[in-house]
Chain A
């Protein structure tokens, strides 16, 4: 009995996910032919909605792309700032973002710096940065 209820519950959630996914997909499907292009400049490949839907549904169900909590984010920055100065220099941030993890492209780095960096000190006060970004999201 509980299992059935569970399944119903999941089905409802999946149905809702599907609607959300369709909405989001359509925002990018500007030619309204049920495909979205993968690359901006020279589209070499398209993703069809039929393929996209099950992959995305599973991702949502598995909570793969949940938002990251503020405190977790803060701790991540603190790992990169072991001296606990409260900031990262521009060079340090660039090094970490472009050499570690899944490295940023030149463009991504520039864009992040433009918002994060304090032009006077040439450093990133990560606490303030996080707060600013989080507020903006909401």
Chain B
């Protein structure tokens, strides 16, 4: 009996032990799986973020390029002069808006067939609510009401100070929201969950209302409407995307022209004005500072409060005042900048020249001396010569000017007739003022102490916890609320909880990529965060599925990026293959890829997703590059090096085209296209002959009327995002057949 029961016990014990071990094994397996999943999620995040920031950097470089042209290019013919003038009509925009009465929207008729919302002024709360409801039902506001709303908004904003002071004693609480980026669903969700704005419910929206999302117009209309209805409780800060130059690249301009084909131009012009009247920051109870980007070690709230914010039309490019009044400031600025500013990318030798996003200035003597600079017509050798002679000229100009640092822009070039520098009362901002604004709109916090130039974005700086501490102490503040950076949870504390990043665009990179969040400040100003994700599908997906979707999207983008650098990658791979065996180790692969792309990604982690053809830890790199190309190319007869170059520069190309198309008609002439390409290629190291470009241009011109539809051109090389591509594909395939019949560009640079 005893032994029987003991063996039973033994058996039972064995079973229990087995069960325990089995459970432990399953748990260990599951946790390992989840850890890998988390790793994938973070890698994916890194991919999206690095590509996004590289894009922003590109844009700044592009505008540097244009600034450089303005200062150093003397057109050799009146054609070229006109062309350049047209590229810089953003200056003329400012002029138009000054003289524009703005009340001629009344002449715009609203047809009886219009079923959308009607607005009348002064705006009532019901109007604003009706607007939200109408947009939720996907209606579109008529151009007349858009313009009248913008006009009223401008009038209101112009009365506000640069730093808006808000108190929580009137409203019971205040809610601060971050970037929305045209995502109307998120805005509606916030109002649904947190309640509509009211005298008891104050809101601050911290910039970046537009770009990237598809409903930027509607987001703006709602925000402006509520601001007019509750001027004391509803506040807006300017973000770096409230900027017509940034909008050219990131989709807002495109959206406006698409939704408002007739009045779009007028709307954009008015918006440009409205944007620069947006306040720069909001101060809650004199204790919490809310601004879009961040701060720098030079941030001066008094100076920011006093400057004329309206004069800073764009933070990417700015005409600044003559230097004579600002000797002191200039010298100070030079001292801090000399070590910090990265060199202009298109001038490899010049180390001491300042660059992005500063505007390169030169004195009067300099502009005359540079008369010999001109853009060549075609050959590789000539463009190299030009670059060399330009460098020499630049050096001479600098020597003549007397010192190597930043100079404010002196007299305007003889070729630009619209400069108003001598208008007197219309004073441009100083270099210092402009930098202060750039800093608060573009900076990001970092973990290390100190303050250094934000090279990733190309503007503003990285500021450390010590910078935050000093600023809070100097102005007796409790903490800082900023936005500007997407965070997986929609928010993030840093600098010892003294800086809060709040980001309100959920699923920003892709469905399932991140949550959005807003923060409520109670009377004690303690922050209370609310998170959300405005997409029904994401709730139904498991974490595993969500991450897979986002990951796929990121990897696709990354493969595109790799393809765009195929030639450089090949060169780099060959360096690791001295014996010319055609293979390299995976370790070398990782090194090579990073040295070409500079994205700072964990390539060894990502390798299994990017390379599936490796055997025994080595890779046949040529065939890998070919497989990348196959994935991207639509037709084999497009010269892959041309396509590759276009891919790499596609965002720049699109931006340039939109700048050229100054009347936003969607068409540019063949001649404009050719000229654009000449300018572009001579400074971007692209060796494509003039003839090829002409051939290309003519082949893209389907109806042979001398004009190129921008979208069709980009689509011909599959450069436009999916949403615009319907219906064009077949037409484009025909065109590319004729494209490269003449010999194409040799190799690469």
Taking CB atoms, residues of chain B closer than 8 Å to A79 are 18-19, 21-22
Known: A19-B587, A19-B604, A32-B447. A77 touches B542 (CB 8 A): no
Interface assignment of A55: CB less than 8 Å from any CB of chain B: no
| Distance (whole angstroms) from the CB of A14 to the closest CB of chain B | 13
Chain B, Cβ-Cβ closest to A80: B22
Interface string of B18-37 (1 = CB under 8 A from A): 11111111111111111010
Contact between A33 and B448, CB atoms less than 8 A apart = yes
Contact partner of B29 (CB less than 8 A), chosen from A68, A108, A114, A136, is A68
Instruction: Select one of A19, A68, A100 contacting B20, CB under 8 A.
Output: A100
- In Å, the complex CA distance between A76 and B28 comes to 12
Known contacts A27-B39, A111-B34; A76 and B447 CB within 8 A of each other: no
Q: Are A80 and B23 in contact (CB under 8 A)?
A: yes
CB-nearest residue of chain B to A15:
B587
Instruction: Say yes or no: A102-B587 contact (C-beta < 8 A), given A24-B605, A33-B448, A80-B22.
Output: no
Known A-B contacts: A16-B587, A102-B28. Give 14 more (CB < 8 A).
A23-B602, A23-B605, A24-B39, A32-B448, A79-B18, A96-B22, A96-B26, A100-B24, A104-B27, A108-B30, A114-B542, A114-B543, A136-B548, A137-B33
Q: Which 9 A-B pairs have the closest CB atoms?
A: A101-B24, A31-B447, A100-B23, A101-B23, A79-B22, A76-B22, A23-B602, A23-B604, A76-B25
The reply on B700 being an interface residue by CB < 8 A is no
Contacts of B590 in A (CB 8 A): 19, 23
Chain B interface category by residue count = 35 or more
Q: Quick one: which of A23, A32, A33, A115 has the most chain B CB within 10 A?
A: A23
- Name the distance in Å between B49's Cβ and chain A's nearest Cβ: 10
* A77–B27 alpha-carbon span in the complex (Å): 11
Main secondary structure of the interface of B (DSSP, over half): helix
In-complex Cβ contact of A27 among B21, B32, B42, B544 (8 A): B42
List residues of chain B with CB under 8 Å of any chain A CB.
18-34, 36, 39, 42-43, 46, 446-448, 494, 542-544, 548, 587, 590, 602-605
Question: How far, in angstroms, from A101 to B21 measured CA to CA in the complex?
Answer: 6
Q: Nearest Cβ distance between residue A87 and chain B, in whole angstroms?
A: 14
With beta carbons under 8 angstroms apart, the residue of A20, A72, A104 that contacts B25 is: A72
Cα A20 to Cα B23 in complex, Å, equals 30
> Would you mind naming 17 contact pairs between A and B with Cβ atoms under 8 Å apart?
A19-B587, A20-B604, A27-B46, A30-B42, A31-B446, A65-B32, A68-B29, A75-B22, A76-B25, A79-B21, A79-B22, A80-B23, A96-B19, A100-B23, A101-B24, A101-B28, A103-B27
Residues of B within 8 A of A102 (CB): 24, 27-28
Q: Which of A27, A65, A75 contacts B602 (CB 8 A)?
A: A27
Given that A24-B602, A27-B43, A114-B542 are known contacts, is A67 also in contact with B22, CB under 8 Å in the complex?
no
Q: What residues of chain A lie closer than 8 Å to B20, measured between beta carbons?
A: 100-101
Among the listed A67, A108, A136, which residue makes an inter-chain contact with B32, where contact means beta carbons less than 8 Å apart? A67
A28 to B488, CA, bound (A): 13
Contacts of A38 in B (CB 8 A): none
B542 pairs with A111, CB closer than 8 A: yes
Minimum CB–CB distance for B632 against chain A, Å = 24
A30 to B27, alpha carbons, bound, how many Å?
28
CB distance from B7 to the nearest CB of A (A): 18
- The distance in angstroms between the C-alpha atoms of A111 and B543, with both chains bound, is 8
Beta-carbon nearest neighbor of B49 in chain A: A30
Q: Is A61 an interface residue (CB 8 A)?
A: no
A119 to chain B, nearest CB (A): 11
Most chain-A CB neighbours within 10 Å: which of B25, B32, B446, B605?
B25
**Distance A133 CA – B603 CA, assembled complex (angstroms):** 24
Q: Report the minimal beta-carbon distance from B35 to chain A, rounded to whole angstroms.
A: 9
From the candidates B30, B587, B602, name the one contacting A112 in the complex (CB within 8 A): B30
Which residue on B lies nearest to A138, using beta carbons?
B608
Please determine whether A115 and B542 come into contact, CB atoms closer than 8 angstroms.
Answer: yes
Q: B603 to A73, Cβ gap below 8 A?
A: no
Closest A residue by C-beta to B548: A136
Cβ distance A48 to chain B, nearest Cβ, rounded Å:
14
In the complex, A93→B604 CA distance in Å?
A: 36
A33/B447 in contact, CB under 8 A = yes
| Complex Cα spacing A79 to B43, Å | 36
Q: How far is the CA of A73 from the CA of B43 in the complex (A)?
A: 28
Q: How distant is the Cα of A102 from the Cα of B24 in the complex, in angstroms? A: 6
Question: Considering the complex, which residues of chain A in the window 76-120 have a beta carbon less than 8 Å from any beta carbon of chain B?
Answer: 76-77, 79-80, 96-97, 100-104, 108, 111-112, 114-115
CA distance A31 to B34 in the complex (A): 23
Q: How far is the CA of A47 from the CA of B588 in the complex (A)?
A: 29
B558 shortest CB reach to chain A, Å: 15
Complex contact B25–A100 (CB within 8 A): no
Contact present for A97 and B23 (CB under 8 Å): yes
B22→A77 contact, CB < 8 A: yes
The answer to whether A68 touches B602 (Cβ under 8 A) is no
* Min C-beta distance of A33 to chain B, whole Å: 5
Q: Are B36 and A137 interface neighbours, CB within 8 A?
A: yes
Asked whether, in the complex, the Cβ of A73 is within 8 Å of the Cβ of B447, the reply is no
Report whether B19 and A115 are in contact in the complex, using a CB–CB cutoff of 8 Å. no
How many Å from the CB of A96 to the closest CB on chain B?
Answer: 5
| Contacting residues of chain A (13-55) with chain B, CB-CB under 8 angstroms | 16, 19-20, 23-24, 26-28, 30-33
A102 to B29, CA, bound (A): 12
Please measure, in the bound complex, the distance between the C-alpha atom of A31 and the C-alpha atom of B19, giving whole angstroms. Answer: 42
Q: Hey, which chain B residues are within 8 Å of A30, CB to CB?
A: 42
Instruction: Give Cα A104 to B494, complex, Å.
Output: 30
> Are A136 and B544 CB-contacts (below 8 A) given A23-B603, A31-B446?
yes
Q: How many angstroms between the C-alpha atoms of A136 and B546 in the bound complex?
A: 12
Q: How far is it, in angstroms, between the C-alpha of A100 and the C-alpha of B30 when the chains are bound?
A: 14
Residues of B within 8 A of A76 (CB): 21-23, 25-26
**For A16, what are the chain B residues with a Cβ–Cβ distance below 8 Å?**
587
What is the CA–CA distance of A20 and B607 in the complex, to the nearest angstrom? 11
Name the CB-closest residue of B to A69: B29
Contacts of B544 in A (CB 8 A): 115, 136
Contact partners of B18 in chain A: CB under 8 A: 79
Closest CB in chain B relative to A131 CB, distance in Å: 14
> Taking CB as reference atom, which chain A residue is nearest B543?
A111
Which residues of A have CB within 8 Å of B494?
31
Residue of chain A at shortest CB distance from B27: A101
Q: How far is the CB of A126 from chain B (nearest CB, A)?
A: 9
A133–B446 alpha-carbon span in the complex (Å): 37
| Residue of B22, B39, B587 most packed against chain A (CB within 10 A) | B22
From known contacts A33-B448, A136-B544, infer whether A28 and B604 are also in contact, taking CB-CB under 8 Å: no
How far is A28 from B587 in the complex, measured between Cα atoms in Å? 21
Q: Chain A nearest CB: distance from B517 CB in Å?
A: 15
A46 to nearest B CB, angstroms? 11
**A13: shortest Cβ distance to chain B, in Å?**
11
Tell me, in angstroms, the Cα distance from A33 to B32 when the chains sit together: 26
B19 touching A27, Cβ below 8 Å? no
CA distance A68 to B602 in the complex (A): 25
Contacts of A77 in B (CB 8 A): 22, 26
